[in-house]
């Protein structure tokens, strides 16, 4: 009966604590509008999404209502960078539907735990119908002991879990999503998904701290009355200074430790501390973006989602659809519509009605001299008509993730509703670069179209991209290909693909005063190639080097191999993380510390020690893992499993000790000892 009572009490305490934990999360996440507003200001969210605070808070209120089931559809039209658009895209809506369902499940668990706690408390109270002679045997005494023991075990488990998770947050964050989500919709891209921009990592850290402090407050409400009651009944019984059991001291110590850990500053950097942003160049163009080709990592952005007129940069989409749907040897017929549907002054190569070219020749005429009648002819060849081709253009743009693009023609001649943005153009060029034959054609400096069925003369052509022209003052050997564009309404537009030392960059500049698009592109390329370099996320050994007089070689006490580090260097990793490191030097200018960071997250600070290369104890064991998994761990790490097993064993010991040391059991043992002592015949004992 006694054990059954304590089991009921522990179940009631545990379920109540779980209900309080879930309730703390709900209150912290949904009760305060001011919390979101403060976090938006602190993390400079308004600049990231191009919104006013009032509009962003309206989106936030709607999103919170949706997560609580008060709204059926997650769709909010708002103003971003001066343009009206829906804040959420389809991927974000699908992910938030999963989050809303998870929130509903959490609330269900909370009420189930609360009901279970009430039922167990009722059963525990019913077991005390008969009056007890000693105050330690009453209902409140048992309940208080169970509350203290349950709280101690729960906080201890929670603390151990927090330590394990903090050691490799990214790993356990992914495990959490794999457990609670059946898809990969939670992997959001900051360049396309606005949701991840309004809730950066610093926001989640602040939200977790807020939840933990609120939960700690509720725990103290349970603990303090329990401690006071047990102290009071002990004082009444013994009439002397109360002696608290060790479990009470340990419980209070765990609560204080948790509070101190929450109050400690987090190791995160502000946006101003991110390497490279403060050294980014100033450009004159109205909009621009610089991305790394293979990962899509954004290295520079200025009004990247602002709607602009693309002019002839539209032709890269025309080229993409042609390459995806046609064979290069197919014959293209030039119709009257294709040739004469041009505005006065539009660029062309002088095609006549009924003339024929191969698709290959058309692509050269499209991309090098930017011939508009060729764009029209290719559109009719691919889709049968230009309106049908325009529909295909917009459909393909949506498939590539373009959110601010609407094409009205295949050539880029000015129309009021023919718009795109720098980010979308970068996505289109990124797709083109992976399409066979595009780079070969677009990187050609000069080309000659042979005589055709109607014209006996050849047509020599050259690229309009000055950074590809060796006789131009803007020539840059790093540039591989690109496309120009200009109309009075669009200004100077330029998209460029360049490569240097294994790093491939895509640069888009829009609405610049000619020839400012070339000057801005050169500045951005210089910035990209001087500030960033490419490496694999799991192969930082590419930086391994010896002491060549440029930078001494070092290894860390954690057995990291030798690295040849520059004073300031940023690494774009293949897992879409942006990692950077800086060296801290002593008075003798010898590096003593390396600081790693990914975006605005500070990863770690590792001390450096000089060593002679032949004495370097390089092994394949013990490589440290960071937030972006800079290198693979050799073998499996069983430490978290061992810690969890030890915690569970300790919890069982504490529960057993609490049950064994109840007043009833102590009194029973004393009575048994007394009976044994009374059975001893003292007269038979001889005392010498």
How is 91-147 classified by DSSP, letter by letter?
HHHHHHHHHHHHHHHHHHHHHHHHHHHHHHHHHHHHTT-S--SSGGGSHHHHHHHHH
d(CA 363, CA 371): 10
Query: Catalytic residue at 270?
Result: no
What is the Cα–Cα distance from 90 to 526, expressed in whole angstroms?
36
- DSSP character at residue 271: G
Q: How many residues does the chain have?
A: 688
Give the C-alpha distances (Å, rounded to integers) separating 21 from 112, 300, 323: 13, 41, 57
**What are the backbone dihedrals phi and psi of residue 550, each rounded to the nearest 5 degrees, phi first?**
-80, -50
Q: How far apart are alpha carbons 682 and 118 in whole angstroms?
A: 54
Could you give the 3-state DSSP secondary structure of residue 462?
A: strand
Helix (H, G, I), strand (E, B) or coil at 495: strand
Angle at 471 between CA 467 and CA 477, to 5 degrees: 40
Contact 232, 169 (CB under 8 A): no
Query: Which residues does 507 contact at the CB level (< 8 Å), separation at least 6?
Result: 288, 289, 290, 494, 495, 496, 497, 498, 521, 524, 525, 528
What is residue 287's three-state secondary structure?
strand
Q: Looking at 251, 370, 408, 577, which residue is catalytic? A: 370
Cα Rg of the chain (Å, integer)? 35
Measured CA to CA, the distance from residue 58 to residue 75 in angstroms comes to 12
DSSP calls for 298-324 = EEEEESTTS-B--GGGGHHHHHHHHHH
CA 322 – CA 378 distance, rounded (Å): 7
48 given a catalytic annotation? no
Q: Does 604 participate in catalysis according to the annotation? A: no
CB 498 within 8 A of CB 479: yes
Helix 422-433 × helix 315-325 angle, to 10°: 30
Residues 572 and 636 sit within 8 Å (Cβ to Cβ) = no
Among the options 302, 306, 315, 522, which is catalytic? 315
Q: Which phi and psi angles does 480 have, rounded to 5°?
A: -100, -45
Q: Which of 117, 251, 301, 312 is catalytic?
A: 312
In the three-class reduction of DSSP (H, G, I as helix; E, B as strand; rest coil), residue 550 is classed as coil
Phi, psi of 245 (to 5 degrees): -65, 150
Helical pair 201-238 and 246-263, crossing angle rounded to 10 deg: 160
Helix pair 315-325, 372-383: axis angle to 10 deg: 40
Are 159 and 219 within 8 A, CB to CB? no
The residues carrying an active-site annotation are 312, 315, 370
């Amino acid at each position: 009966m006694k054990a059954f009572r304590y089991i009921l009490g522990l179940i009631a305490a545990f379920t109540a604590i779980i209900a309080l934990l879930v309730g703390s999360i709900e209150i912290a996440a949904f009760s305060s509008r001011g919390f979101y507003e403060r976090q938006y200001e602190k993390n400079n969210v308004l600049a990231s999404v191009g919104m006013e605070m009032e509009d962003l808070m309206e989106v936030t209120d709607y999103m919170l209502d949706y997560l609580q089931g008060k709204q059926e559809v997650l769709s909010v039209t708002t103003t971003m960078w001066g343009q009206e658009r829906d804040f959420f895209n389809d991927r974000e809506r699908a992910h938030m539907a999963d989050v809303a369902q998870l929130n509903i499940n959490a609330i269900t668990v909370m009420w189930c735990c609360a009901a279970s706690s009430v039922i167990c408390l009722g059963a525990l109270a019913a077991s005390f119908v008969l009056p007890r002679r000693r105050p330690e045997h009453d209902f409140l005494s048992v309940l208080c002991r169970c509350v203290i023991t349950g709280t101690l075990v729960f906080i201890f488990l929670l603390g151990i879990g927090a330590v394990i998770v903090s050691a490799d947050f990214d790993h356990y964050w992914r495990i959490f999503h794999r457990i609670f989500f059946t898809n990969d919709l939670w992997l959001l891209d900051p360049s396309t998904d606005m949701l991840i921009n309004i809730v950066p990592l610093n926001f989640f850290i602040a939200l977790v701290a807020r939840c933990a402090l609120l939960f700690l407050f509720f725990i103290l409400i349970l603990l303090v009355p329990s401690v006071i009651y047990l102290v009071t009944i002990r004082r009444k019984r013994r009439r002397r200074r109360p002696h608290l059991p060790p479990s009470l001291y340990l419980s209070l110590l765990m609560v204080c430790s948790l509070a101190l850990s929450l109050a400690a500053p987090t190791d995160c950097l502000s946006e101003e501390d991110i390497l490279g942003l403060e050294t980014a160049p100033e450009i004159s163009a109205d909009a621009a973006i610089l991305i790394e080709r293979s990962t899509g990592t954004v290295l520079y952005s200025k009004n990247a989602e602002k709607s602009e007129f693309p002019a002839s940069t539209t032709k890269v989409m025309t080229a993409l659809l042609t390459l995806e749907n046609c064979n290069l040897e197919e014959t293209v017929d030039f119709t009257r519509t294709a040739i004469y549907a041009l505005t006065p002054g539009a660029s062309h190569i002088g095609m006549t009605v009924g003339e024929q070219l191969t698709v290959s020749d058309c692509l050269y005429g499209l991309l090098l001299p930017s011939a508009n009648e060729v764009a029209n002819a290719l559109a009719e060849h691919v889709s049968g008509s230009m309106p049908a081709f325009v529909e295909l253009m917009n459909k393909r743009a949506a498939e590539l993730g373009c959110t601010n693009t609407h094409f009205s023609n295949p050539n880029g001649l000015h129309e009021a509703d023919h718009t795109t943005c720098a980010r979308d153009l970068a996505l289109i060029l990124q797709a083109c670069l992976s399409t066979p034959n595009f780079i070969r054609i677009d990187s050609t400096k000069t080309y000659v179209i042979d005589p055709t069925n109607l014209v006996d003369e050849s047509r020599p052509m050259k690229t309009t991209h000055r950074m590809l022209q060796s006789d131009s003052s803007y020539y840059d050997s790093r540039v591989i290909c690109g496309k120009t564009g200009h109309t009075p309404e669009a200004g100077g537009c330029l998209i460029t693909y360049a490569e240097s030392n294994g790093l491939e960059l895509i640069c888009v500049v829009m609405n610049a005063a000619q020839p400012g698009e070339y000057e801005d592109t050169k500045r951005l390329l210089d910035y990209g190639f001087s500030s960033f370099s490419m490496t694999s996320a799991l192969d930082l050994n590419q930086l391994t080097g010896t002491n060549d007089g440029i930078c001494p070689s070092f290894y860390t006490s954690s057995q990291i191999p030798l690295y040849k580090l520059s004073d300031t260097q940023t690494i774009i990793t293949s897992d879409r993380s942006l990692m950077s490191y800086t060296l801290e030097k002593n008075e003798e200018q010898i590096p003593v510390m390396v600081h790693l960071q990914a975006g605005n997250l500070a990863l770690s600070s590792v001390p450096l020690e000089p060593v002679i290369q032949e004495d370097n104890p390089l092994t394949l064991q013990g490589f440290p893992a960071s937030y972006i998994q800079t290198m693979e761990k050799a073998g499996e790490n069983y430490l978290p499993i061992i810690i969890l097993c030890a915690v569970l064993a300790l919890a069982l010991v504490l529960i057993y000790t609490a049950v064994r040391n109840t007043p009833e059991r102590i009194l029973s043992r004393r009575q048994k000892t007394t009976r044994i002592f009374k059975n001893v015949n003292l007269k038979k004992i001889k005392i010498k």
